[in-house]
Amino acid sequence: MEKSIQDSIHGVIKLEEWMVRIIDTPQFQRLRRVKQLGFASLVYPGANHTRFEHSLGVMHIARMLKERLELDDDVLAAALLHDIGHAPFSHSSERLLEKYAGFRHENISRVIKGELKDVINDLGFSISEIEAMVAGKKRSIVNGEIDADRMDYLVRDSHYTGVAYGVFDIYRLTDKIKFDNSVIIEQGGIKAAESLLISRFLMYPTVYFHHVCRIARKMYEKAMEGIIEGGFDASKLLEMDDMDAMMLIKENEREFYEMLSNRTLFKRAVYVSRRAVDFREVMRINEKRAEREIAEEAGVDEKYVIVDIPPVEEMKESGVLVETEWGLRTLDEVSPLVKALKTASLENWRLGVYTKKEYLGRVGKAAMDYFGIERVVQKSLDEIFP
């Protein structure tokens, strides 16, 4: 029996009976309690949407593509389940799971168990095939250069944060997509694809890498890392939701719990672009070792120093194939705008060192010395125009 869900982004989403069986399992329902954007609600109060609604949205977009491209239902199952492996606060737990449990959220076979596993097997789907699509080991419309996942999260995250940058024409883009072992954009879809890349370029520094979001995420990591190193089994995070994780921190790292709950967060002691440092050298630095040495130099407890060296976000969407009169070319080959965005995205990168307000001076000086950052002295107008 078909059901309907009213979605804030796509309107009515139709659910077939087999989809409802998957959605009604406890493992899938957990996603209702895992925020899509982690701690972004500390910056954008409306950003309380979850992995649950995003998963439904990805399935909806995948179904639009499936009907045009004549794909099998396993693509829809992969779209529905692509985020089933997310732990509390979504990407905020990802580094912890990789480091302490050898797990990435795309490795969904490790979390498909119990009732969910029984339902998938009963429906005749292959868990290994679904995982291959989710992890990008098998090319699909679920995980690729341009896919149903990013089409949904950009517009959804834009809507709930109130930031207008994530808006682009999903329906034009889906109408101009072909699939031949990989996604191919028809020539008439180039402008829609460019619009997606512009949205992505603007959303990353504005939302995903906003400094307050980064600080809260790194404080959560710091607190949880201490708990894990104290004996907690990191793999248990895969069964937890955001409330469970905060209660765990409350029981074991009360100070961090109160700071995260009350938004009395660390401040920026250092926050600089790649041009202020030896970028290649910085990318090789171990964050924990840097925290230890900066804390020692500053004379503060290591738990109050956070070094944030984010990865460089690759704009892999720029490599999607596009039909042209000269044959298939990558999007950045045919679009000067996308080529420029790919270069400009490096300018969004920031090195951050965060600490409590009372330690800003000491930690800032120690961090600048550690990373070889020259201190910029602000001149008065009288000095500039004597």
- For the chain, what's the residue count? 386
- The answer to whether 45 and 37 are in contact (CB under 8 A) is no
In the residue annotation, 105 being an active-site residue is answered as yes
Helix, strand, or coil here: 232? coil
Integer Cα distance of 223 and 246 in angstroms: 10
- The answer to whether 55 and 30 are in contact (CB under 8 A) is no
Q: Write a three-state SS string for 344-384.
A: HHHHHCEEEEEECHHHHHHHHHHHHHHHCCCCCCCCCHHHH
Instruction: Provide the strand spans (E) within the chain.
Output: 3-7, 11-15, 177-179, 183-185, 267-273, 305-308, 321-324, 327-330, 350-355
Backbone angles phi, psi at 52, to 5 degrees: -65, -55
Integer Cα distance of 26 and 9 in angstroms: 25
Amino acid of residue 131: E
Integer Cα distance of 23 and 235 in angstroms: 23
Q: What's the distance, CA 61 to chain centroid? A: 19
Integer Cα distance of 70 and 244 in angstroms: 41
Integer Cα distance of 216 and 260 in angstroms: 7
Which residues fall within 8 angstroms of residue 188, CB to CB, at 6 or more apart? 176
Q: Of 82, 105, 210, 211, which is the active-site residue? A: 105
Catalytic residues: 105
